[in-house]
Structure 1
């Protein structure tokens, strides 16, 4: 899992340095790593499981207002849209983080709160 996280962080930095325009898409992430733990929300933004990112965990975020839920589980890059996730089960609730930062969202899975961080260019 640590290797996957490091690979995705590396991919994140590479996409930020590339001449392409726009944020990474689910298709971009899945193409690089079929096992990525991501979901799409907020008009096409892709969120990555941040369980192994120390600087995010140091924030000690907790869930705030409920925003919605996962509506589809798929690793098919063509079926990704808001509400789709690669690993989270359908019905998983999505919450704002207590810091009101749209870059961090929280899901609750098996009574555990997991922070997901948005992947943005640059």
Structure 2
């Protein structure tokens, strides 16, 4: 009986330790992390979520050069399930996203350049 209790305790502690490790490492943010906020403006490219950073002061001060097209928005999607590269929640279908010589990507909508930044876990 003591042996069974000892094994059960060991299994319980092992499982509790694994879940703590998983909580400590969550990885990069996903669309689910943003789409519950009505103000979120995101798209996905190469498995990474990019968020609108129009109001970020240091971004507004960047002197960037637009480079090559990296993705075109293929689908507008409000739900996180099945969110893929080329999906956006607010950008219209057909919007072209360009790389720059900075960490910022640029979406061009009706001639307006909108900056987006990768949402990466530190």
Question: Given the two structures, how large is their TM-score scaled by the length of structure 1?
Answer: 0.75
In the comparison of the two structures, how many residue pairs are matched?
A: 100
Unaligned stretches of 5+ residues in structure 2: 1-22
* Structure 1: distance between partners of 2:65 and 2:76: 24
Report if aligned partners of 1:73, 1:87 keep a CA contact under 8 Å in 2: yes
Output one character per residue of 1:65-122: Cα deviation in whole Å (capped at 9) or x when no partner: 111200110111103110000100111001111x1x4x42111001011110000002
* Structure 1: distance between partners of 2:39 and 2:115: 18
Shift in Å, 1:34: 3.2
Report if aligned partners of 1:62, 1:106 keep a CA contact under 8 Å in 2: no
Which residue among 41, 53, 58 is the counterpart of 1:37? 41
Partner of 2:39, secondary structure, is coil
4+ aligned runs moved over 6 Å, structure 1: none
Report if aligned partners of 2:31, 2:83 keep a CA contact under 8 Å in 1: yes
Report if aligned partners of 2:45, 2:71 keep a CA contact under 8 Å in 1: no
Larger radius of gyration: 2
Please provide the CA RMSD for this pair: 1.5
Partner of 1:78, secondary structure, is coil
Question: Given the two structures, how large is their TM-score scaled by the length of structure 2?
Answer: 0.75
Unaligned stretches of 5+ residues in structure 1: 1-17
Partner of 2:91, secondary structure, is coil
* Structure 1: distance between partners of 2:65 and 2:27: 29
Q: Which has the higher contact order (CA 8 A, sep 6+)?
A: 1
* Structure 2: distance between partners of 1:61 and 1:38: 21
